[in-house]
Chain A
Amino acid sequence: MNSQQSAHPKQEIGGMVPEISLPLVQGGTGTLQGFLKGKKGLLVVFWSETCSHCLRYDSFLNEFPQRYPELGLVVIACRQGETAEEILATIAQRNLRFPILHDQDSRIARQWHTQQTPRVFLLDANRRLLYRGAIDNYRYPADPDYQAYLRPAIEAFLAGKPIERPETASFGCAVQSVYYQLPKPLARS
């Protein structure tokens, strides 16, 4: 905790999000504008290779470009302490096919008021924030309590309709831990 963390301007639904530029784990640098090129909108996903919740959305994210060709997709690995090598190893192991930006010190996550992964942001072509929150309520689709949050938002946006629920609460794994990391005993194996 430090006081700078709350000093960021409040990000409002309907407002424009500032441009970011981060190293791309797969090589090079990525910007929102770059991923928006030729697209109607962009899905930004705050993500972590450690996070057990993100894991469940691997295939959703892998298949996202086929499902929504009008939309761009970029994932931001934002968990404190994750290295590019670790993320690359995970990409290979889990066959991930989406571009991953590396927000090594969680700076962008803080600016975007993100404490947990996965947390998604849907932007229009002008980087205006349309939807912020969870993909669904993390139930299995067979569960009677299952609720999709992102899908209806995307569908409304693509159909040019107002988004009924532009914000849902996120949940998942924290992007940082208040405890000093249990330094190497486990990280070395």
Chain B
Amino acid sequence: MAESGWRFLDATMKVGQSITEALGDGSAPKGSHLPPYNGSPKVAEATADFANRLAVVAASNPIGAEWFLNSWNDVWDAASKSFAGIERRSLRQWMALSMQLPLSAGTLVSLFGLRTLHGAYVVGLEKLPDLIAFATEIWIDAELYTSLQYKTYVARLAGQVRQSPEDARLRLQLGHTYIKLGRFLEARSELAQAMRDSRLRAEALQESMVANYYAADYAQAVADGAAAMALKPLNKTRYWLWLAAQKAGGYPEEVPPASRMEVRVGRHPTQVRLENVAAQLGLNKTSAGRGTAVFDMDGDGYLDVVIASNHAGISLYRNNGDGTFTDASVGSGLEYCYDSFAIAVGDYNNDGWDDLYVTRQGFYPGESVLFRNNGDGTFTDVTRQAGVQSWGTAFCAQWVDYDRDGRLDLFVTRNQGRLADPGVPNRLFHNNGDGTFTDVTNEAGLSSVSPTIGCAWGDYDNDGYPDLFLSSGLGRAQLYHNNGDGTFTDVSRQAGIDEISLGFIALWCDYDNDGWLDLIQFVWSPEEDVLHTLIHGQRPANGHPLKLYHNNRDGTFTLVSQELGLDECWGTMCANVGDYNNDGWLDILLGNGAPPMDRTEPPILYEFQADGCGTGRRPGKFHNVSFAAGLPYTGKGHGANFADLAGDGRLCLIVADGGMYPGDLLTTLVCRPTTLPGNYLNVRLVGTRSNRNAIGARLKLKAGGRCQHRAVDGGSGFGCLPFEQHFGLGTFERIEALEILWPSGLKQQFRNLPVNNTIRITEGKSAWDEVYPRSQATRLAQKSDPEPAPELSAV
């Protein structure tokens, strides 16, 4: 009820805005996607920009009686900067402005209203203040740290500390800020001063423990943590104390049992042992990693890796042909693509070289880039000539051939914005076939604004056309059915997936191998819920685990996460599915965390075990095997990915770890099973009538009387999976059949395929070939098999 009230208010404001905009002046550039270096020409965007700048000014000057005196210069400057692009030449423009300003301000109020309401619905009133404080700090810091404007802020704070050296709160704040900057030793001495104030002692000790942990003084970290626990037993402190104690060789005697803990999840037995091979493979770059993508950059058959990064360019790692990598970033043209977020791989011009679309900045405005792959290890920025400029906040991007014309189109989610956000729609770019794109968002009916972070394209009703799921950062999820004529219909409510949640990314996968795509929406949980899960082995009663929706095959979905054992709370920022133990069932990898320096979370691995313990019609259950398999306890996961990097059948789990603050010191995690956990077959598809990457193709593999289903995906979430489809075969040594339904509609069937191999299948061709050169003996053995006899039939 309250929600519809706010929504009505929001809609009214927006209608008013568009009317007054039309009143103002037709000459103002409309729908400009170019960076507003000189201020946006739109009043709504300028107002939002002003509000964001104002928040930064407020944060850098403590609010008090003299706040306005101290800050009026800054406020005036922010206003003149934000509104610089607004035309104010004629009386008519001034009149329109006077009407638009209050409407724009009103829109922001309704935005905050809706956010608060949705936040309260998801986390409950009790945890709402914490969530608001967290979000506000992160949003303001994003402005300061992502743009590297922190220096003056820190200098100002340090100046204030010098003026009032006895103010413990200021010192605590300075220490907290130094930790964000990686200046841990200076943080420690500020916090030591702050500790003298008994009211702030517990908080300062907790921060000091974190600083000492990062500075590798684990004994002191344990001492600080134990002292903080004695004063104020918080779960956060308990967890950091446990982490520090792990590093220091266990809890010292003086830590009382009440301050101790054990991690009570992730211990379910598994057959697989994982080892961290990042350094061995040459992928252990220390950087604020974000999205990852695995693809064959240079056509040599071996999978290469790209990792996006905050504060830095994209790293490009070339596969040496044995699963180890050489950093080939320098000179590639990708190394100057700073602050990138997600990478989507797709051969948009069908020239045989996979191209990259890179979103920038996420919660912060930036310009996304389309890189054309030149095939020689270099990439050229073709954003402008291709017509895919998109200035603003942007998260996920996905390549999809939504109209099945054989050319990849592009979808970008971009309306989960800044603290004050003018609300910009997502974007669907149609591929014109000549290297250019046309923005068809409005024609397709996808221009509604809901705070979207993740998108997932998948054909849930098996009508041949990919449909679109949008995961909302703080709002209702949306499902759009593809009508097949270039338009979409919102079917969220009848499908039963329109819940409000703190959603992040989403993906389609057929977890139960029934031939119908199921949907997983990954959810970001507040820290307290995550700690509760770690410490108590179960989520808090009001916690929200990820949402797995089972496809009922009639256009509706049933939420089955709890039934399937997916009942824990994690701050999931990225995830992917892959059969890492080669048992024929997809497993789930989560990368978790949040920007604050004192929030660290393990990556989580859910293994699907078809052990008959599933309830109802479900074939099994997911079990958290993270620590039993050997994953670490800390992280800040982005860009989770599964890839057979060496081409030996062992899927590597890749999680790019990284944070928003310069002080975060995480390296990319790459874990690989120590031995081949089962037989496998890797299949790569090359489209001819379909798009070359065969995005949208469906595969059905029959082995041992059981079927496995896969869909080729164009990069949902922050980890863009390789196009290579990995089938785990367990102990089966024969594949009965592999059926491929190409996006063009062509159906092909292959029999007598080899196991433990990586093969390439070209659309319409009856013969397949091996991707990797093998030894002569293996090759000869292979030749003695009868020629594969494909069955071709057009549908």
A residues 161-188 touching B (CB-CB < 8 Å) = 167, 169-174, 176-188
Q: Nearest residue in B to A133 (C-beta to C-beta)? A: B327
Contacts of B156 in A (CB 8 A): 186, 189
In the bound assembly, the distance between CA atoms of A174 and B148 in angstroms comes to 8
Contacts of A176 in B (CB 8 A): 338
In the bound assembly, the distance between CA atoms of A138 and B53 in angstroms comes to 32
In the bound assembly, the distance between CA atoms of A3 and B336 in angstroms comes to 10
Name 7 extra pairs, CB < 8 A, besides A171-B311, A171-B312, A185-B57.
A51-B662, A52-B663, A55-B183, A177-B148, A182-B144, A183-B81, A186-B60
Q: Which of B215, B329, B361 contacts A178 (CB 8 A)?
A: B361
In the bound assembly, the distance between CA atoms of A173 and B288 in angstroms comes to 10
In the bound assembly, the distance between CA atoms of A49 and B150 in angstroms comes to 12
Assuming the A-B contacts A11-B330, A171-B286, A182-B143, are A138 and B665 also in contact, with contact meaning beta carbons closer than 8 angstroms in the complex? yes
Contacts of B285 in A (CB 8 A): 169, 171
User: Which segment, of B70-78, B402-410, B714-722, faces chain A?
Assistant: B70-78
Interface centre among B217, B315, B336 (most CB of A within 10 A): B336
Is B706 interfacial (CB-CB < 8 Å)?
A: no
In the bound assembly, the distance between CA atoms of A1 and B217 in angstroms comes to 41
Q: Is the CB of A115 within 8 A of B287?
A: no
Is A53 interfacial (CB-CB < 8 Å)?
A: yes
In the bound assembly, the distance between CA atoms of A5 and B338 in angstroms comes to 12
Is A40 interfacial (CB-CB < 8 Å)?
A: no
B residues 507-523 touching A (CB-CB < 8 Å) = none
Q: Which of A134, A171, A178, A180 contacts B338 (CB 8 A)?
A: A178
Is B447 interfacial (CB-CB < 8 Å)?
A: no
Q: Is the CB of B216 within 8 A of A142?
A: yes
Q: Which of A6, A139, A178 contacts B380 (CB 8 A)?
A: A6
Is B35 interfacial (CB-CB < 8 Å)?
A: yes
Min Cβ gap B424→A in Å is: 16
Q: Is the CB of B216 within 8 A of A186?
A: no
Is A97 interfacial (CB-CB < 8 Å)?
A: no
In the bound assembly, the distance between CA atoms of A37 and B57 in angstroms comes to 49
> Which 4 pairs between the two chains have the least Cβ-Cβ distance?
A143-B216, A6-B333, A10-B331, A52-B181
Q: Is the CB of B183 within 8 A of A137?
A: no
Q: Nearest residue in A to B81 (C-beta to C-beta)? A: A183
Q: Nearest residue in B to A106 (C-beta to C-beta)? A: B336
In the bound assembly, the distance between CA atoms of A56 and B35 in angstroms comes to 35
Number of B positions contacting A (CB below 8 A): 65
Contacts of B147 in A (CB 8 A): 177, 179, 181-182
Q: Is the CB of A171 within 8 A of B287?
A: yes
In the bound assembly, the distance between CA atoms of A56 and B215 in angstroms comes to 12
Contacts of A3 in B (CB 8 A): 380-381
Is B182 interfacial (CB-CB < 8 Å)?
A: yes
Could you mark each residue 10-28 of chain A with 1 if its beta carbon is under 8 Å from any beta carbon of chain B, else 0? 1100000000000000000
Q: Is the CB of B216 within 8 A of A180?
A: no
B residues 169-192 touching A (CB-CB < 8 Å) = 181-184
Q: Is the CB of A186 within 8 A of B336?
A: no
Is A50 interfacial (CB-CB < 8 Å)?
A: yes
Could you mark each residue 34-57 of chain A with 1 if its beta carbon is under 8 Å from any beta carbon of chain B, else 0? 000000000000000111110110
B residues 83-105 touching A (CB-CB < 8 Å) = none
Contacts of B333 in A (CB 8 A): 5-6
Q: Nearest residue in A to B339 (C-beta to C-beta)? A: A178
Contacts of B74 in A (CB 8 A): 184-186, 188
Q: Is the CB of B337 within 8 A of A188?
A: no
Q: Nearest residue in B to A146 (C-beta to C-beta)? A: B216
Q: Is the CB of B148 within 8 A of A5?
A: no
In the bound assembly, the distance between CA atoms of A178 and B81 in angstroms comes to 17
Interface centre among B156, B330, B339 (most CB of A within 10 A): B330
Q: Is the CB of A6 within 8 A of B182?
A: no
Interface centre among A169, A181, A186 (most CB of B within 10 A): A186
A-B contact pairs, 13 of them (CB 8 A): A6-B381, A11-B330, A79-B148, A139-B216, A169-B286, A171-B312, A172-B311, A174-B311, A177-B147, A178-B367, A179-B366, A180-B35, A186-B144
Contacts of B337 in A (CB 8 A): 1
Could you mark each residue 360-379 of chain B with 1 if its beta carbon is under 8 Å from any beta carbon of chain A, else 0? 11001111010000000011
Contact surface of A with B, Cβ cutoff 8 Å:
1-3, 5-6, 8, 10-11, 49-53, 55-56, 79, 110, 113, 115-116, 134, 137-140, 142-146, 167, 169-174, 176-189
Contacts of B360 in A (CB 8 A): 178
Contacts of A134 in B (CB 8 A): 286
Assuming the A-B contacts A52-B181, A189-B155, are A1 and B339 also in contact, with contact meaning beta carbons closer than 8 angstroms in the complex? no
Contacts of A180 in B (CB 8 A): 35-37
B residues 374-419 touching A (CB-CB < 8 Å) = 378-381, 383
Q: Report how many A-B pairs have Cβ atoms within 8 Å.
A: 154
Contact surface of B with A, Cβ cutoff 8 Å:
35-37, 53, 56-57, 60, 73-74, 77-78, 81, 143-144, 146-153, 155-156, 181-184, 215-217, 285-288, 311-313, 315, 327, 329-333, 335-339, 360-361, 364-367, 369, 378-381, 383, 662-663, 665
Q: Is the CB of A1 within 8 A of B73?
A: no
Contacts of A184 in B (CB 8 A): 74, 77, 81
Interface centre among A142, A167, A185, A188 (most CB of B within 10 A): A185
Q: Nearest residue in B to A186 (C-beta to C-beta)? A: B152
Contacts of B288 in A (CB 8 A): 171
Contacts of B367 in A (CB 8 A): 1, 178
Interface centre among A3, A145, A180 (most CB of B within 10 A): A180
Contacts of B36 in A (CB 8 A): 180
In the bound assembly, the distance between CA atoms of A171 and B329 in angstroms comes to 13
Assuming the A-B contacts A182-B56, A186-B60, are A169 and B315 also in contact, with contact meaning beta carbons closer than 8 angstroms in the complex? yes
Min Cβ gap A39→B in Å is: 26
Q: Nearest residue in A to B185 (C-beta to C-beta)? A: A140
In the bound assembly, the distance between CA atoms of A29 and B160 in angstroms comes to 38
Contacts of B311 in A (CB 8 A): 116, 171-174
Q: Which of B57, B312, B369 contacts A174 (CB 8 A)?
A: B312
Min Cβ gap B287→A in Å is: 4
Contacts of B77 in A (CB 8 A): 183-185, 188
In the bound assembly, the distance between CA atoms of A2 and B333 in angstroms comes to 10
Contacts of B366 in A (CB 8 A): 178-179
Q: Nearest residue in A to B665 (C-beta to C-beta)? A: A138
In the bound assembly, the distance between CA atoms of A3 and B379 in angstroms comes to 10
Contacts of A5 in B (CB 8 A): 333, 336
In the bound assembly, the distance between CA atoms of A124 and B663 in angstroms comes to 33
Min Cβ gap A142→B in Å is: 5
In the bound assembly, the distance between CA atoms of A183 and B182 in angstroms comes to 25
Q: Nearest residue in A to B374 (C-beta to C-beta)? A: A6
Q: Is the CB of B183 within 8 A of A56?
A: yes
Q: Which of A1, A143, A145, A172 contacts B336 (CB 8 A)?
A: A1
Contacts of A173 in B (CB 8 A): 148, 311, 662
Q: Is the CB of B216 within 8 A of A116?
A: no
Q: Is the CB of A177 within 8 A of B339?
A: yes
Contacts of B56 in A (CB 8 A): 182, 185-186
In the bound assembly, the distance between CA atoms of A180 and B466 in angstroms comes to 37
Contacts of A167 in B (CB 8 A): 327
Q: Nearest residue in A to B287 (C-beta to C-beta)? A: A171
Q: Is the CB of B216 within 8 A of A187?
A: no
In the bound assembly, the distance between CA atoms of A134 and B327 in angstroms comes to 14
Min Cβ gap A46→B in Å is: 13
Q: Is the CB of A52 within 8 A of B312?
A: no
Interface centre among B156, B217, B331, B378 (most CB of A within 10 A): B331
Q: Nearest residue in B to A170 (C-beta to C-beta)? A: B312
In the bound assembly, the distance between CA atoms of A172 and B663 in angstroms comes to 9
Q: Is the CB of A11 within 8 A of B331?
A: yes
Min Cβ gap A13→B in Å is: 10
Min Cβ gap B775→A in Å is: 32
Q: Is the CB of A137 within 8 A of B215?
A: no
Min Cβ gap B597→A in Å is: 12
Q: Is the CB of B73 within 8 A of A188?
A: yes
In the bound assembly, the distance between CA atoms of A132 and B598 in angstroms comes to 32
Contacts of A142 in B (CB 8 A): 215-217
Q: Nearest residue in A to B53 (C-beta to C-beta)? A: A185
In the bound assembly, the distance between CA atoms of A186 and B224 in angstroms comes to 34
Q: Nearest residue in B to A80 (C-beta to C-beta)? A: B148
